[in-house]
Structure 1
Amino acid sequence: MSSTEDRRFEVLRAIVADYVATQEPIGSKALVERHNLGVSSATIRNDMAVLEAEGYIAQPHTSSGRVPTDKGYRQFVDRIADVKPLSPAERRAILEFLESGVDLDDVLRRGVRLLAQLTRQVAVVQYPTLSASSVRHLEVVALTPARLLLVLITDSGRVDQRIVELGDTIDDENLARLRDLLGGALEGKKLAAASIAVSELAADAPDHLRNAVVRSATVLIETLVEHPEERLVLGGTANLTRNAADFTGFPGSMRSVLEALEEQVIVLKLLAATGDAGTVTVRIGEETQVEEIRGTSVITTGYGTASTRFGGVGVLGPTRMDYPGTIASVAAVARYIGEVLAER
């Protein structure tokens, strides 16, 4: 890239930084005063004219300064060379806060609350998708000699408890055998494969255990193939009100954004389209391809382990946002949510 193009990008970067900080259109005089760009005011005015002609900045009102367009934000985001990493103290604080969560629900609630605080935007975390989960452990507990409690734990932290009525009694020795049979068929398998494996147990089960195996397998299959509606945890919705002016000029403005968040389907689709953990996706304005949230930017990534994506996490806010800081926060919180859930 030529030095002229580099300089114009520096002008664009300065306009983005100042507009994010002040929410006021930026003029050439302000750029000269605030930034050491190494050129005259006339050169900066000329660069701004070129950036405007190319669609990177716009003039919202006659005689006003310039503001970045969606195209300008995209150019800025695409050329972020280094996302400032969080400090060791910040990373340690995030991990300790998430590790204090008592279960899956608590970890996700803590994660979304923390991300909303760090970014001052709306934070969203998707519950682990069932199709990606594997059975980590099955515990079989005798509540009475004829009644069992099955506790199914997945690698994404989901815990399901089901009662099995045996219709007959079972002693401790046979209970241990039943536990081994069921656990051997399920543990380590994806939910769909686990459902098939447990359905085949009855054919080879010892006669004296067949009734217990059939009844337990029936309950487990219902648990494994049950796919409740995907859910989101949201936090920081009130942050939108701080930036209400950013949504003026869009159909429905902030109200349509709030309605989209309430319905959740739109945000779930955006999270589902997110890549694996470690890959951050930034959608700016019309790039969301959703009319209701056209005035927003959505920054998302996946969370999970190196081999398994549990779900998505991200933030939604006005296009006028701190992209480097938000990208770093989304990546860090997603990483530690995945680590905490994987260790449970």
Structure 2
Amino acid sequence: MVNADERRFEVLRAIVADYVSNHEPVASKAIVDRHNLGVSSATVRNDMASLEEDGYIMQPHTSAGRIPTDKGYRLFVDRLSEAKPLSTAERRAIGTFLEGAVDLDDVLRRSVRLLAQLTRQVAVVQYPTLTRSTVRHIELVLITPARLMLVMITDTGRVDQRMVDLGDVITEDTLARMRTMINSSLAGQRLTDAAVKVAELVDAAPNELRDAMIRVGSVLVESLVDHPEERLVLGGTANLTRNVADFPGSLRQVLEALEEQVVILKLLASAQDAGTVTVHIGGENEAEQMRSTSVVSIGYGGTELLGGMGVVGPTRMDYPGTIAAVRAVANYVGEILRAR
């Protein structure tokens, strides 16, 4: 037989499910009619009274049913035994859509579009943290005999292209020697360490390569240290405006916080482990502008955290489905970046 605490939680679960689905306060009769709890309306009313007294539900106005509070949503999320699984078709669609991406920018743009479509919320993805990235390859391409293009590719798929004016002409053989020296020294190095090694490269260059290496080295250092690490890709902002009633008097503040991005970056920074979902509900958000929202976030990258992603929406959200979608997209993005 189910004990009183478990029964009250089942009543809370029913209230959350109905309120998320219908956006209407939930009455005891509706719970009895829609959910097979095996108890009378009187028992449900008593359980609702206990839940309200403990702060898990509230009555928005007189003669109304009850709605979950932030505390009620938190208990519901903490008691989720498992995220609602995505269907085979959804998983296949995610894999196919993301695998078609041509570069890192495309992967992240596709990711936010997917998350926004799957959750019907605002999706956010942080660019990989470059201080944790490593150099995969440096390519040098002659544009003219005295000008070349430097292309840096990181292990996360970031591609940075810069032009280098050499001040003098060089041959393809000279270019090949420089390319070999640079990659032998920098490939596999973290970006911060690679910047230091550039100076060693210049010092070790033969006299006939010194001037060209100095010019290439100065541009290469800029490429290694001058990077917009704190970048976000957002998608689905219009989804918030479809549920204006969920943000009484605060929608403008939420939109401004999304535009500023600093608040969201701080929330994503709380995702310290790749694959671990974090949920901030309502008042748990430190920023006042976000107190009417919930943020479901996760780190991505596999064994090493590269960045964070997640969704922002009202506290009245489908938590099981949202958690499943965020986790699935993060897993695919991590796999794709590791394979590049």
TM range (shorter): over 0.9
Paired amino acid for 1:81: S
Q: Are 1:310 and 2:283 matched, yes or no?
A: no
Q: How far apart are the structure 1 equivalents of 2:163 and 2:22?
A: 59
Q: Are 1:266 and 2:271 matched, yes or no?
A: no
Partner of 2:127: 127
Partner of 2:338: 342
TM-fit CA distance, 1:87: 2.6
Higher deviation after alignment, 80-89 or 107-116: 80-89
Q: How far apart are the structure 1 equivalents of 2:96 and 2:229?
A: 30
Match for 1:254 among 251, 254, 268? 251
Q: How far apart are the structure 2 equivalents of 1:302 and 1:177?
A: 40
Is the contact made by 1:280 and 1:300 (CA closer than 8 Å) also made in structure 2?
Answer: yes
Q: How far apart are the structure 2 equivalents of 1:42 and 1:154?
A: 63
Q: Deviations over 1:225-265 (max 9, x none)?
A: 113362211111111122111111xxx41111111111111
Q: Are 1:289 and 2:283 matched, yes or no?
A: no
Partner of 1:108: 108
Count of equivalent residues: 340
Q: How far apart are the structure 1 equivalents of 2:108 and 2:228?
A: 17
Partner of 2:236: 236
Match for 1:325 among 316, 321, 331? 321
Q: How far apart are the structure 2 equivalents of 1:81 and 1:169?
A: 66
Q: Deviations over 1:114-166 (max 9, x none)?
A: 11010011111112222121111111112222222111011122111112222
DSSP-derived class of the 2:228 partner: coil
TM-fit CA distance, 1:215: 1.4
Q: How far apart are the structure 2 equivalents of 1:150 and 1:226?
A: 15
Partner of 1:298: 295
Paired amino acid for 1:225: V
Paired amino acid for 1:16: V
Is the contact made by 1:116 and 1:122 (CA closer than 8 Å) also made in structure 2?
Answer: yes
Partner of 1:85: 85
User: Within 5 A, what are the aligned runs for 1:31-180?
Assistant: 31-180=31-180
Paired amino acid for 1:168: D
DSSP-derived class of the 2:306 partner: strand
Is the contact made by 2:139 and 2:150 (CA closer than 8 Å) also made in structure 1?
Answer: yes
Q: How far apart are the structure 2 equivalents of 1:305 and 1:180?
A: 30
Structure 1 alignment gaps of length 5 or more: none
Q: How far apart are the structure 2 equivalents of 1:85 and 1:36?
A: 23
Higher deviation after alignment, 161-170 or 327-336: 161-170
TM-fit CA distance, 1:83: 1.0
Is the contact made by 2:301 and 2:338 (CA closer than 8 Å) also made in structure 1?
Answer: yes
Paired amino acid for 2:274: A
Paired amino acid for 2:52: E
Q: Deviations over 1:199-240 (max 9, x none)?
A: 111222212112222211111011111133622111111111
Is the contact made by 2:127 and 2:229 (CA closer than 8 Å) also made in structure 1?
Answer: no
Q: How far apart are the structure 2 equivalents of 1:293 and 1:43?
A: 36
Structure 2 alignment gaps of length 5 or more: none
